Chains A and B, each alone.
Chain A
Amino acid sequence: MTALELLRFPFVQYALIVSALMAVCASLIGVPLVLKRYSFMGFGLSNVAFMGMAFAIVIDATNSLAIVMPLTVAATILLIGFGNRFKKISGDASLAMITVGSLAIGHFAINTFSMRGNITADVSETLFGGMRLLTLQMPDVWQSIALTAAVIFFFAFFYRRIFAITFDVDFMQATGQRPLIYELLLSAITGVVIAMSMNLLGSLLTASLIIFPALSAMRLFKSYKTVVIFAAIAAATCSLLGILVSILFELPVTTTIILMNITLFLVLLAVDTLRKILV
């Protein structure tokens, strides 16, 4: 079967559209996260979303997002929005506790309370995605179109402020602005994107989409604007290629996408290093 023939199947079309859109969303929020040294936050928060998903499985909820979303958004606001301001425990330690703790609680909950038969498949699917991505329906597509439109609008509209809170919160505070409002807004959007992405792509892919495209873009580009735009394009391209390759060669879909992202990063890292040596 060729790639072109594949495109005729609705399930392939849905997977391509949704994964590309979610990649755009995750990579957009990834740029400020990575620049603020919150790279690991994406993984921690994906694990919180995993715990939410586990709860949803346990109570057999019809709409798992109703549980995953509020939990993830709350954790994001707590960690990113307020993280710097009221630290009793260091940010690094609280993040590590949340990452490990939520994974353990989620796993415990599924194994202890779930009435469903195949627990291992549930856990694996929630962490690594895969089946879900290839069995999407039209409503999932609409959902991700709506989210992407909202995220792009938010980024375009508040672009200057997002840049400012990423670069220097103190400057905003000292000049009588209210950075906290924008930090909370960005945290809330981050939480929503992670919850949705976790639901559709699994937690590992979500965490990768937050870090790799942003880091790749930073190797190549020198202005914030070009970094943001390239991260989004790179993420979407890796996802599209990853899905086609994985179906054609019968590879695991989400980890193939991640490997695409890693490869791109390594290539750009090599280019950047060579450029520095030669110039």
Chain B
Amino acid sequence: MSLSISDLSIGYDGVAILDDINFNINSGSYLCIVGENGTGKSTLLKTISNLHKPIFGDISFGVSRREIGYLSQQTAVQKDFPATVSEIVATGTLSKGKWYRPFYSKQEKELISWAIEKTNITDIRDKCFRELSGGQQRRVLLARALVGAKNFIILDEPTTGLDPAATKDFYELLEKLNRNDGITIIMVTHDVESAIRYATHVLHLQSDDYFFGTLGEYSQLRKGGADE
């Protein structure tokens, strides 16, 4: 399981924000996408996640999209949604479930429990989503992403609006999933300092260029830039 991007152009209404994006990551990688506002990191992630059409180029996972988990930015609708944690996590199975089956199978229920345990939300599984803290809500959405995809997760600014402690908890959870369970992670983030130290690779977008490399190469580059 890997991701390869070739000759990708992203943008809106046929106008490109960024051209000629090429990179590959192998399974087990942890890629952070960083960059100033307006450089298109969110657009890139949406394009990779099939929420936005690319202007040109190829995105290939080597597997079906149904094998991939996604964690979006918080929407207004979700804020006061009357649903329990388990109800929400359960929808993660739908990408693989058959459309004509109205109920969750035993196997799916086990998968749901597994994801709930993995993200440490067992004690709140019957609570209402809208009554949870921001950090807890993020974990619930992470659990939903895990149910559908045990190997590959895409996250769009998952720590927006979280306090530093909750942010740290969330990053540590992601690190565990990446290191111990070999889950590939792609994440867009704005807080570069605290996020990228868990990463294996960094994609740094600039207004009309980008850098892609390992964390080591990126740190070197940044240090070099500072010395000059």
Contact bitstring A15-47, B, C-beta under 8 A = 1, else 0: 000000000000000000001110000000000
**In the complex, which residues of chain A have a beta carbon less than 8 angstroms from the beta carbon of B145?**
171
Which B residues, 26 to 58, have Cβ-Cβ distances below 8 Å to chain A? 49-51
Given A160-B104, A172-B94, A223-B83: A177 in contact with B66 (beta carbons within 8 A):
yes
Given A37-B76, A167-B83, A222-B84: A160 in contact with B91 (beta carbons within 8 A):
yes
Q: Which of A157, A174, A222 contacts B82 (CB 8 A)?
A: A222
Q: Which of A171, A177, A224, A225 contacts B72 (CB 8 A)?
A: A171
- Residue on A nearest B131 in the bound complex, by CB: A222
- Are A163 and B102 touching (Cβ within 8 A)? no
Contact bitstring A226-244, B, C-beta under 8 A = 1, else 0: 0100000000000000000
- Are A168 and B72 touching (Cβ within 8 A)? yes
19 A-B pairs with C-beta separation under 8 A: A35-B81, A156-B102, A158-B102, A160-B94, A160-B97, A168-B75, A168-B91, A170-B49, A174-B154, A175-B68, A175-B69, A175-B70, A175-B94, A176-B50, A177-B95, A222-B82, A222-B84, A222-B131, A223-B84
Chain A CB within 10 Å, residue with most, of B66, B91, B149: B91
Verify if B24 is at the interface (C-beta below 8 Å from A): no
Which A residues, 145 to 190, have Cβ-Cβ distances below 8 Å to chain B? 156-161, 163-164, 166-168, 170-177
A interface size (C-beta, 8 A)? 30
Verify if B176 is at the interface (C-beta below 8 Å from A): no
- Residue on A nearest B75 in the bound complex, by CB: A168
Number of contacts between A and B (CB, 8 Å)? 97
How long is the Cα–Cα vector from A176 to B67 in the complex, in angstroms?
Answer: 8
**In the complex, which residues of chain B have a beta carbon less than 8 angstroms from the beta carbon of A35?**
77, 81-82
- Residue on B nearest A224 in the bound complex, by CB: B83
- Are A167 and B102 touching (Cβ within 8 A)? no
Q: Which of B50, B77, B87, B97 contacts A174 (CB 8 A)?
A: B50
- Are A170 and B94 touching (Cβ within 8 A)? no
- Are B102 and A164 touching (Cβ within 8 A)? no
**In the complex, which residues of chain B have a beta carbon less than 8 angstroms from the beta carbon of A163?**
83, 87, 91
**In the complex, which residues of chain A have a beta carbon less than 8 angstroms from the beta carbon of B91?**
160, 163-164, 167-168, 171
**In the complex, which residues of chain B have a beta carbon less than 8 angstroms from the beta carbon of A82?**
none
- Residue on B nearest A178 in the bound complex, by CB: B99
**In the complex, which residues of chain A have a beta carbon less than 8 angstroms from the beta carbon of B97?**
160
- Are A174 and B102 touching (Cβ within 8 A)? no
Verify if B128 is at the interface (C-beta below 8 Å from A): yes
How long is the Cα–Cα vector from A35 to B145 in the complex, in angstroms?
Answer: 22
B119 to chain A, nearest CB (A): 16
- Are A225 and B77 touching (Cβ within 8 A)? no
**In the complex, which residues of chain A have a beta carbon less than 8 angstroms from the beta carbon of B70?**
170-171, 174-175
B144 to chain A, nearest CB (A): 7
Verify if B158 is at the interface (C-beta below 8 Å from A): no
Q: Which of B49, B90, B94, B154 contacts A177 (CB 8 A)?
A: B94
Verify if A218 is at the interface (C-beta below 8 Å from B): yes
How long is the Cα–Cα vector from A164 to B144 in the complex, in angstroms?
Answer: 11
- Are B144 and A224 touching (Cβ within 8 A)? no
Verify if A221 is at the interface (C-beta below 8 Å from B): yes
- Are B104 and A176 touching (Cβ within 8 A)? no
Q: Which of A156, A167, A177 contacts B81 (CB 8 A)?
A: A167
How long is the Cα–Cα vector from A193 to B94 in the complex, in angstroms?
Answer: 27
Q: Which of B49, B82, B154 contacts A221 (CB 8 A)?
A: B82
**In the complex, which residues of chain B have a beta carbon less than 8 angstroms from the beta carbon of A177?**
66, 94-95
- Are A167 and B77 touching (Cβ within 8 A)? yes
**In the complex, which residues of chain B have a beta carbon less than 8 angstroms from the beta carbon of A218?**
82
Chain B CB within 10 Å, residue with most, of A36, A161, A171, A175: A175
- Are B94 and A161 touching (Cβ within 8 A)? yes
Verify if B88 is at the interface (C-beta below 8 Å from A): yes
**In the complex, which residues of chain B have a beta carbon less than 8 angstroms from the beta carbon of A224?**
81-84, 87
Q: Can you name 19 extra interface pairs (CB under 8 A) apart from A37-B77, A168-B72, A171-B144?
A: A35-B81, A160-B97, A160-B102, A167-B81, A168-B75, A170-B51, A171-B72, A171-B91, A173-B50, A173-B51, A174-B50, A174-B65, A175-B94, A175-B95, A176-B50, A176-B65, A176-B66, A177-B66, A222-B83
How long is the Cα–Cα vector from A177 to B68 in the complex, in angstroms?
Answer: 11
Verify if B194 is at the interface (C-beta below 8 Å from A): no
Which B residues, 61 to 120, have Cβ-Cβ distances below 8 Å to chain A? 64-66, 68-70, 72, 75-78, 81-84, 87-88, 90-91, 94-95, 97, 99, 102, 104
- Residue on B nearest A37 in the bound complex, by CB: B77
